[in-house]
Amino acid sequence: MSESPLSMHPGPHTPLVGTTLREHVLSGMQAAPGATGEFTSLLNHLSLAIRIINSRVRQAGLAGMLGYTGETNVQGEAVQKLDVYANDVLLNVLERSGHCAIIASEEMDDPVFAQHPSKYVALFDPLDGSSNIDTNGTIGTIFAILRRRVTEAKPALEEALRPGYEIAAAGYALYGPATLFVLSTGQGVHGFTLDPNVGEFFLSHPNIRCPSKGTTYSVNGGNRARWNEGTKKWAEHLKGSDKATGRPYGSRYMGSLVADAHRTLLKGGIFAYPADEKAPKGKLRLLYEANPMAFLFEQAGGMATDGVNRILDLQPAELHERTPLVLGSVEDVLTYKRFQLEQQG
Ligand code: FDP
């Protein structure tokens, strides 16, 4: 590519134009042998869907988009208007892309199968943290992309039920004070911030690394009475005082996985949604929440388990399966595991 006159002669008034998400994805793909451009195109479609959802989230209070629809989803949870909107946008944009043979969402009972051969499986939680919508809290979209083994085969449900270590790309959008797109295609984790005036995501957080240890923990302490002994002792341990290990830890909990995970990814520490007596398999969904987050944390040098086992090794048995989720700095996730193993004896 020939250099533009501007980049050849940078002067004091030359605008600094950063790397766009599109350029970043394209440069990664150009290095991949046999790349056809379909993956790049799929990620660009995802970015479009996220910008459309973001635009509606920003106007929700004015556009009559707050509140519930009166329906419940496959998980038995009350559905919000923005949940439905975000799901429809993603479904529509991904179907139009022509790259997804299977599209599965936390908000849909069954996956959507394409009629034409295509290479990818898309899994998403269209609007995570939706209980924060009405109070203007940070919410997001989480996704994972898998490559199909045989593009020509008729798409089948089993192709979505694959362990997280097979993920080709995962990421999330964060609709907070700024809109962020955090992405990994297996070459580290990179964050992009939306310039709302230009309508583009620009690289703002290159090569995110999760610190090996943090000083905060993030858990819904209101569930304490229902936790197992290991989790109770772990939480008490973090509240105990010990200068050498940085205790007591500070507590941070938004109740929005994208927001809690994003803070943990950047600052370190630990996020946990353990199993409890009410939710013996945990609350969060393996395919739409735990797997994409686990992929990102591992790519950033962090760790993600179900308390003991690596999340990315879990073999899903069903689409809407739940799992306990513990993620963050390696040292902190291992401390949690030690308390679980101790209680198991
Ligand atoms: P929400 O119910 O608001 O959609 O997956 C759902 C989720 O939020 C996560 O984003 C969040 O981490 C968790 O549930 C919060 O659950 P609690 O309200 O039980 O703490």
What pTM was estimated for this model as a whole? 0.93
By most ligand atoms within 8 Å of CB, the mutation choice from 142, 172, 284, 288 for ligand 1 is: 284
Could you tell me if 321 and 230 are in contact, meaning their C-beta atoms sit under 8 angstroms apart?
Answer: no
Q: Tell me what pLDDT residue 4 has.
A: 47
Tokens of 338: 């030690």
Tokens of 207: 């090569």
CA distance linking residue 230 with residue 338, whole number of Å? 9
Per-residue CA distances from 315 to 32, 155, 321 (Å): 28, 19, 10
Which residues, at least 6 apart from 301, have a Cβ–Cβ distance to it below 8 Å?
A: 209, 210, 212, 330
Measured from the Cα of 284, ligand 1's closest atom is 5
Per-residue pLDDT of the chain (345 residues; tens, 9 = 90+): 444 444 455 566 766 678 999 999 988 766 665 668 899 999 999 999 999 999 999 987 777 778 888 888 777 778 888 999 999 999 999 999 999 999 999 999 999 999 888 999 999 999 999 889 889 999 999 999 999 988 888 999 999 999 999 999 999 999 999 999 999 999 999 999 999 999 999 999 999 999 999 999 999 999 999 999 999 999 999 999 999 999 999 999 999 999 999 999 999 999 999 999 999 999 999 999 999 999 999 999 999 999 999 999 999 999 999 999 999 999 999 999 999 999 987
CA distance linking residue 21 with residue 193, whole number of Å? 9
Could you tell me if 215 and 268 are in contact, meaning their C-beta atoms sit under 8 angstroms apart?
Answer: yes
**Can you name the residues that pair with 141 across neighbouring β-strands?**
173
Q: Report the residue count for the chain.
A: 345
Measured from the Cα of 220, ligand 1's closest atom is 20
Q: Is 59 exposed, middle or buried (0-12, 13-18, 19+ CB in 10 A)?
A: exposed
Q: Tell me what pLDDT residue 66 has.
A: 82
**From the CB of 128, is ligand 1 less than 6 Å away?**
yes
Tokens of 228: 């197992």
CA distance linking residue 16 with residue 215, whole number of Å? 36
Q: Tell me what pLDDT residue 31 has.
A: 60
Measured from the Cα of 125, ligand 1's closest atom is 5
Q: Tell me what pLDDT residue 6 has.
A: 45
Q: Tell me what pLDDT residue 334 has.
A: 98
Could you tell me if 104 and 123 are in contact, meaning their C-beta atoms sit under 8 angstroms apart?
Answer: yes
- Chain centroid to CA 75: 19
Measured in Å, residue 259 CA sits from the centre of ligand 1 at: 11
Q: Tell me what pLDDT residue 3 has.
A: 45
By most ligand atoms within 8 Å of CB, the mutation choice from 73, 105, 107, 128 for ligand 1 is: 128
CA distance linking residue 7 with residue 19, whole number of Å? 14
Q: What letter would DSSP give residue 288?
A: I
Which residue has the CA at smallest separation from atom 6 of ligand 1?
A: 129
Q: Tell me what pLDDT residue 117 has.
A: 85
